[in-house]
Structure 1
Amino acid sequence: MNWGTKIVLGLATFMIFIVVLGLIMFNSKKDALVDNDYYEKGINYNKVYNRKEQTNTDHARPEVSANQEMIIVKFVHNAKGTARLMRTSDKELDKTIPFESNINRQLIIPARNLKKGSWRLIIEWVSDEKSYMYEQEITL
């Protein structure tokens, strides 16, 4: 085999390699770190910031404890709102749970059906006509 044939085979192999990598890239899953509604989140950022600051100002930070059976959130005052469990690795596993705290000012979320691993718990609630928001990483 002469050197011209080797160069052509080398270029053809490289071109096939690039085409295969391109096909794999286009057929892979979407990036989970990109938000589809980033524009709306940018517009509402001030509201989110104010809710988080209100939580710090009023010392209304809830106590969160989690195990494999349940997630328990204990509030300072009675609360009504939504809790979101977000799985950073798979958006399909995210859950939104509307709630109203019980007599003991607690929210109990069953965790048996949740996949083990890292979750982001985002709680938005209203208590005494004030809006609050709290975020925490939890591991089941």
Structure 2
Amino acid sequence: MLVDDNFEHELVTEDYYGAELLYQNDINKLEKSKELEENISYLRTSEGLKIVFPETIDYKKITGKVFLYRPSNKQLDFETIISLSKSNLLIPDNRLVDGRWNIIVDWQYNGNNYLFKESITY
């Protein structure tokens, strides 16, 4: 049996169980989102990316955050707090360069937690 004492075993994350709980929490939020009559949608407009929340709920009671990740350039990543004056949130065109983006909307409504994830080409 060959053993190399110089080889160290390291976990990807030090808090493995905490990370697993967060992952399970995301799964629960995604499942809860499937129960919605209408889920979040999005569309590209001349002004930017419009994230549309379900019209069947009171947008004034929605809280949470929107995260946009650029797989090819982490420096372009950003997040914004959800603060709605209508049932949609506009990400201005000047914040989004053309290409692939990952969108995560982690939101709450009436004590329920929801999660929307999508990869788009802008």
What TM-score, normalized to structure 2?
0.74
Shift of 1:58: 2.1
How does 1:106-125 map onto structure 2 within 5 Å? 106-125=88-107
| Distance in 1 (alpha carbons) for counterparts of 2:112 and 2:39 | 13
* Alignment of 1:42 onto 2:20: yes
Give 5+ residue unaligned stretches, structure 2: 1-11
Higher share of residues assigned helix:
1
Q: Displacement of 1:66 after TM fit?
A: 1.9
Residues 66 and 139, structure 1, Cα contact 8 Å, conserved in 2: no
Which residues in structure 2 correspond to 1:27-106 (within 5 Å)?
39=16, 40-67=18-45, 69-76=47-54, 77=57, 78=59, 79-103=62-86, 105-106=87-88
Moved more, 64-73 or 88-97: 64-73
> In terms of Rg, which structure is larger?
1
Residues 75 and 90 of structure 1, relative CA distance in 2, 3 Å threshold = same
Aligned length: 105
Distance 1:98 1:107, change over 3 A: same
% identical aligned pairs: 23
More displaced 10-residue stretch of structure 1: 109-118 or 81-90: 109-118
Secondary structure at 1:44 match in 2? helix
TM-score normalised per structure 1: 0.66
Shift, 1:99, TM fit: 1.4
Structure 1 unaligned regions, length at least 5: 1-34
Q: Distance in 2 between matches of 1:113 and 1:63?
A: 19
Q: Could you list the per-position Cα deviations for residues 102-133 of structure 1 after superposition, in whole angstroms to 9, with x for gaps in the alignment?
A: 23x11111122322100011001111221100
How far did residue 41 of structure 1 move?
A: 3.5
In structure 2, the residue matched to 1:9 is: none
